[in-house]
Structure formats: C-alpha cells, structure tokens
Structure 1
Amino acid sequence: MRRRGGRKRVLGTGRPLVLPDGPNQWWSLEFVSDALTDGRRFRILAVMDDNARENPVPLAGTPHTCLRVTRELDRLISERSQTGTIASDNVLFAE
C-alpha cells in the first residue's frame, strides 16, 4: 500500500516579526461575508490597523473586483502614510 505524504507547511523567512508600536505600521486585510434576509450575499473588505484598533476603509458591496480593492487601498495610503506590513490570510507583505 502506498504511503501518503505529510502535510505541506509554509516555510518562514527566518526573521522575527516586528510588533507595531504606533499607528499605520501593521494592517490586516480580511473579507467578511454575510447574507441578507432575501438570500443575497454581500462581502465587506475590512482593513484593520492592528495597533490603533480601527477600520479605516470598510468597503461593502458585491462584487469586489481587484481594481476596486486596489483603488481603495491606494486612496487609503494617500490619506495616511504607507504601512510597513500588511497581513492577509496567513500571508505577510513587508517592506
């Protein structure tokens, strides 16, 4: 009988994570979905500033195209300073 391979694990960068000590240093992106009473579904893009504990751009609606999401993130970066790290579903984007 053939043996199954083990679970694939993500290899880290080997660098320790730098925790934020001020606002606009670490943002988390998350899509949250729900349904209305008539069955229609909608999604909300939540961009969380992890240190300030605020959601500066709650983008609700359906559908979320990649152009709309990047336009909103560009607008957020122009209003605030650019963040150092963005985390999204177990993926880190750091400078």
Structure 2
Amino acid sequence: PDDGVLRDRLKTLAQERRRFGYRRLHVLLRREGHAVNKKRVQRLYREEKLTVRRRGGRKRAVGTLRPLEVPLAPNQRWSLDFVSDQMTDGRRFRILTVIDNCTRECLALTFSSGRYTE
C-alpha cells in the first residue's frame, strides 16, 4: 500500500488505541489486510511522532498526607526496628532497637538468638 494511506490508517488506529505501540498496531494493520512489515510500521510510527500514552498516576486523597510532627521533648515518640544478621557459624540472630526520636538516644537493644521465621 501507499505510504500516505498507511500513515492515515496508522494515525487513526493510534488515536483509537492510545496504549498500543507500533508492534500491536502492526498486528491490527495485518488483520485489516495491509501487506506491511514491522520495520515499515516502526518507521512510519516514528516519522509521525506517535507515542504510547502513559497511564495516569493514581490520585491521592486530599488532606491525608501531612508531615510528621517533630518531637519537642524526650519520650514523645519512639521508633522501633528489628535488625537481623547471621553469625559466622550460620546461626541467625535478631536485635530489637528502640530509639527516642527527639534525642536520638538508643533506649534499648534486645538480643534474641532463638528460633524465628522471616
């Protein structure tokens, strides 16, 4: 087929199917009876500056995201974290750390080498 006819059909298909790239549009053109190879469709797709439309991001709920309040005095907020590691003989251990967010002081370290699952 003529490049002009193919270009027009490619543009209309790309507008109808915004999430289709040149590969899927090539399949549609072949199904319609156009004897065209993938490289030609890719060239025309690029020359027409057609692109796949990206999906829109998920909308965030208004007012749900607010910054964390900065603690102004000790003992207002603590943070907990588990740290896991392995000894040289292969035994695993876990440490629970407790930190005061205001003073950045480590309030507790608890060691456990008992059985646990990850």
Higher relative contact order (CA 8 A, sep 6+): 1
Q: TM-score, normalised by structure 1?
A: 0.49
Q: TM-score, normalised by structure 2?
A: 0.41
Q: Which structure has the larger Rg over C-alpha atoms?
A: 2
